[in-house]
Amino acid sequence: MNIKERYKLLLLVVFFLVAYYVPWNHEIIRQAGLEAFMMLREYAREHVLTCLIPAFFIAGAIAVFISQASVIKYFGAQANKLLSYSVASVSGTILAVCSCTVLPLFAGIYSRGAGIGPATAFLYSGPAINVLAIVFTARVLGWQLGLARAIGAIFFAAIVGLSMHFIFRREDEQRAAGAMHLPEEEDTGRSLAQEAMFMLVMVLILIFAAFAKPSGDAATLWQAIFHAKWIITGILLVILGFILYSWFQREELGQWVDSTWGFMKQIFPLLFAGVLFAGFFLGRPGHPALIPEHFVAELVGGNSVWANLFAALASALMYFATLTEVPILQGLLGSGMGQGPALTMLLAGPALSLPNLVVIGSVMGWKKTGTFACIIVVLSTIVGMLYGALIT
pLDDT digits (tens, 9 = 90+) for 218-227: 667 778 888 8
pLDDT of residue 95: 59
Top mean-pLDDT range of 60-64, 300-304, 310-314, 334-338:
310-314
Domain range for 126 is 31-177+191-391
Confidence class for position 237, pLDDT limits 50, 70, 90: very high
- Count of domains observed in the chain: 1
pLDDT at 135 over 80: no
5-19, 60-74, 296-310: which has the minimum mean pLDDT?
A: 60-74
pLDDT at 172 over 80: no
Confidence class for position 372, pLDDT limits 50, 70, 90: very high
Mean pLDDT of 147-175: 84
pLDDT tens-place string over residues 249-282 = 888 899 899 988 887 887 777 777 777 877 787 7
Domain annotation covers residue 40: yes
pLDDT of residue 183: 47
| pTM for this prediction | 0.67
Domain annotation covers residue 357: yes
Mean pLDDT of 313-335: 72
pLDDT at 341 over 80: yes
pLDDT tens-place string over residues 86-132 = 777 766 565 556 667 677 878 877 877 778 888 888 888 877 776 66
pLDDT of residue 217: 60
Mean pLDDT of 18-44: 85
Domain annotation covers residue 151: yes
Confidence class for position 157, pLDDT limits 50, 70, 90: confident
Domain annotation covers residue 3: no
19-28, 63-72, 153-162, 270-279: which has the minimum mean pLDDT?
A: 63-72
Domain annotation covers residue 292: yes
pLDDT of residue 99: 66
pLDDT at 185 over 60: no
pLDDT tens-place string over residues 313-323 = 888 887 766 66
3-state SS of the chain is CCHHHHHHHHHHHHHHHHHHHCCCCCHHHHHHHHHHHHHHHHHHHHHHHHHHHHHHHHHHHHHHHCCHHHHHHHHCCCCCHHHHHHHHHCCHHHHCCCCCCHHHHHHHHHHCCCCHHHHHHHHHHHHHCCHHHHHHHHHHHCHHHHHHHHHHHHHHHHHHHHHHHHHCHHHHHHHHHHHCCCCCCCCCCCCHHHHHHHHHHHHHHHHHHCCCCCCCCCCHHHHHHHHCHHHHHHHHHHHHHHHHHHHCCHHHHHHHHHHHHHHHHHHHHHHHHHHHHHHHHCCCCCCCCCCCHHHHHHHCECCCHHHHHHHHHHHHHCCCCCCCHHHHHHHHHHCCECHHHHHHHHHHCCCCCHHHHHHHHHHHCHHHHHHHHHHHHHHHHHHHHHHHHHHC
Mean pLDDT of 131-148: 77
Domain annotation covers residue 2: no
185-189, 355-359, 375-379: which has the minimum mean pLDDT?
A: 185-189
Domain annotation covers residue 183: no
pLDDT at 79 over 90: no
